[in-house]
């Protein structure tokens, strides 16, 4: 079972991993603004989604869930087999979470100098991510296979453009980031990714509302 929320990029990481590996699962939608007793019982520490339940074991935090899935179901591995490459995948996933996702989120809803600072930090982080795609189609290093890091930062392909539109921003410039732009097209065209995405108009409406609520 996967407990999630329809607009959460963290939940989609887990959905993509399960579907790329061909694992059957039950998805349970949660109202994160009116949390169920089930969610609070299963994840009493953070009280957040995603939460993954397998054989009565409960796992929370999306990166932890990804590794659990990859180690439990060995088919179609997400993490590289080489220890160094595995370490690098984890490093860049953590980097993108702290240095890219957080300022991109802040750039969407903030105003003035705070917005410009967050936008600058986001672009600087993207410049480093861009370098990781030298000579390869996907972040995992394979030309035809989505891997752990692609799943971890897959939100860039769909959520970031929505946040740009909501925040009246220009961050992912195709001329400045040609490799990420090409990767984004390939990533979104993969059947597992393409067929799972929430409607863009619904996303825009939701994040406009969230942006207004957070700022006010």
**pLDDT tens, position by position, 71-123:** 999 999 999 999 999 999 999 999 999 999 999 999 999 999 999 999 999 99
Task: State the pLDDT at residue 184.
Answer: 97
**pLDDT tens, position by position, 43-56:** 999 999 999 999 99
The helix/strand/coil state of 112 is helix
Task: State the pLDDT at residue 140.
Answer: 76
Task: State the pLDDT at residue 60.
Answer: 97
Domain boundaries, the chain: 2-72, 83-215
- Per-residue pLDDT averaged across 140-155, rounded? 88
DSSP string, 166-185: HHT-----TTT-HHHHHHHH
According to CATH, the topology of domain 2-72 is Glutaredoxin (3.40.30)
pLDDT at 142 over 70: no
Task: State the pLDDT at residue 156.
Answer: 98
Q: How far apart are CA 14 and CA 175, in angstroms?
A: 31
Task: State the pLDDT at residue 134.
Answer: 87
Helix-helix angle 102-109:112-131, to 10 degrees: 150
According to CATH, the topology of domain 83-215 is Glutathione S-transferase Yfyf (Class Pi); Chain A, domain 2 (1.20.1050)
Query: With bands split at pLDDT 50, 70 and 90, how would you rate the model's confidence at 144?
Result: confident
Average pLDDT over the chain reads 96
């Amino acid at each position: 079972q996967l407990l999630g929320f329809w607009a959460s990029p963290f939940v989609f990481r887990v959905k993509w991993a399960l579907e790329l590996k061909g694992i059957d699962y039950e998805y349970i939608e949660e109202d994160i603004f009116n949390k169920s007793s089930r969610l609070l019982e299963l994840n009493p520490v953070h009280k957040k989604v995603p939460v993954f339940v397998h054989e009565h074991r409960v796992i929370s935090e999306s990166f932890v869930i990804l590794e659990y899935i990859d180690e439990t179901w060995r088919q179609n591995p997400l993490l590289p087999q080489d220890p160094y490459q595995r370490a690098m995948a984890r490093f860049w996933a953590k980097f993108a979470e702290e240095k890219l996702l957080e300022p991109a989120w802040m750039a969407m809803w903030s105003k003035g100098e705070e917005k410009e600072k967050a936008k600058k930090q986001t672009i600087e982080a993207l410049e480093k991510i861009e370098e990781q795609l030298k000579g390869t189609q996907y972040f995992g290093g394979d030309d035809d296979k989505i891997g752990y890091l692609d799943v971890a930062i897959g939100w860039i392909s769909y959520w970031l453009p929505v946040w740009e539109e909501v925040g009246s921003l220009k961050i992912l410039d195709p001329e400045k980031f040609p490799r990420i732009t090409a990767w984004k097209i390939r990533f979104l065209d993969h059947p597992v990714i393409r067929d799972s995405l929430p409607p863009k108009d619904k996303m825009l409406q939701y994040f406009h509302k969230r942006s207004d609520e957070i700022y006010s």
